[in-house]
Amino acid sequence: MQRSIARLCITAILVAVTAPVLAGETYDLTPKFEQGKKQYIEESSKVSQNVAELPMANRSFDTVEGVIETITKADTDGTTMSLKYDRQRLDLTVMGQKQSYDSDNDAAGSPMIKPIFKPMLGKEFTLKLDKDRNPVSVTGIDEIRADVEKSAGGNPMTAQLGQQIAANLTEESVKQEWGKGRMMFVPDKPVAVGDTWTKNDTRNDGPIGTIETKTTYKLKEVKDMDVRGKTRKTAVITYESEMSPGKDNPAGGATLKSGTRKGTIHFDLNTRRVFAGKYEGTLDLEAQGPGGQVLNVSVTIDAERTCMSVQERGKLRGEEKKEAA
């Protein structure tokens, strides 16, 4: 679960049930994709930005993004999936002023934010992975980005926010967020409870530039978990990441000084898919303010992801609309 700073699931209610695990037993944590399978994936995050030298630049984001994933092809050559935007929510607070939009209650949306997210709803893009689960191509995202930029262009404040959102609607960001980032946890071989493994990654995070990440994963335990009334045999994977600035960073942009991330992944050993995860992280940045003033920026992130059937998503949407009415 590796996302860009500004991106993010509702909290799944997970109740652990003790189950015996054989000592030394190993588990295959390689994801399995089945052609025709669909699921709803929702990510939520709370992001807080604080600037010590410029309090007026402090802001917070509370976001939700939901997509419907359909596996359109899965064979020995690789996997192709379509991802359709199904929900967008943003609560943005700047200088004490809050602007909100939730596509599940579209009528109440902020006129500043609504033009940015509404063009994304129902639109889909396609991601292709090779046989080793590496992302190789993306189609459809450029058209979605163009729709967002066009819709957000009427109001200066909307246009500014729209540009920030559109910056994440690129082939590179999709490959990272929905391809490489989701597969990063996969070990090179089956692992036993207590085993650890390390992965290194280099990614571009827009205005921050290149970020080098070293992540250590651990298979903490295997147990049965009750998830919305269904029992799942679950591999609980924990991880800790350290982030440092890469070599390729844009002139005049914010510079990463250091970053950390700590989280948990829940992997269903029967379906061989991740069904939930969460993490918290921090970023310490240095940026240039008015007149070249050095600004020290701290960012905290608290994020979750959950997956459910499309039918479960439909029930959730119906309940929310009923409550909103």
Domains of the chain (ranges; CATH) run: 14-29+36-324 (2.30.230)
Q: Around Cβ 148, how many Cβ atoms within 10 Å?
A: 22
pLDDT tens digit at each of 325 positions of the chain: 555 533 333 222 223 333 444 557 999 999 999 999 999 999 999 999 999 888 888 989 899 999 999 999 999 999 999 999 999 999 988 777 888 999 998 877 788 889 999 999 999 999 999 999 999 999 999 999 999 999 987 677 677 788 888 888 999 999 999 999 999 999 999 999 999 999 999 888 777 788 999 999 999 999 999 998 899 999 999 999 999 988 766 666 678 999 999 999 999 999 999 999 999 999 999 887 777 888 999 999 999 999 999 999 988 777 544 443 3
Using CB atoms within 10 Å of the CB of residue 275, give its burial: 0 to 12 exposed, 13 to 18 middle, 19+ buried: buried
Distance CA 181, CA 175 (A): 8
- Report pLDDT for 17: 35
Contact by Cβ (8 Å): 48, 299: yes
Rounded to 5 degrees, what are φ and ψ at 17? -125, 130
Helix or strand or coil: residue 168? coil
Distance CA 269, CA 234 (A): 6
> CA-based angle 212:218:224, to the nearest 5?
135
H or E element in which residue 66 lies: strand 59-75
Q: Which pTM value belongs to this model?
A: 0.86
Contact by Cβ (8 Å): 161, 116: yes
Distance CA 11, CA 34 (A): 26
Name the DSSP letter for residue 11.
Answer: P
H helix runs in 118-274, sequence order: 141-152, 156-166, 171-174, 181-183
For the chain, the straight-line distance linking the first and the last C-alpha, in angstroms and rounded, comes to 34
Buried b (16+ CB within 10 A) or exposed e, 151-167: bbeeeeebbebbeebbe
Contact by Cβ (8 Å): 210, 200: no
Whether the CA torsion 217, 218, 219, 225 is positive or negative: it is negative
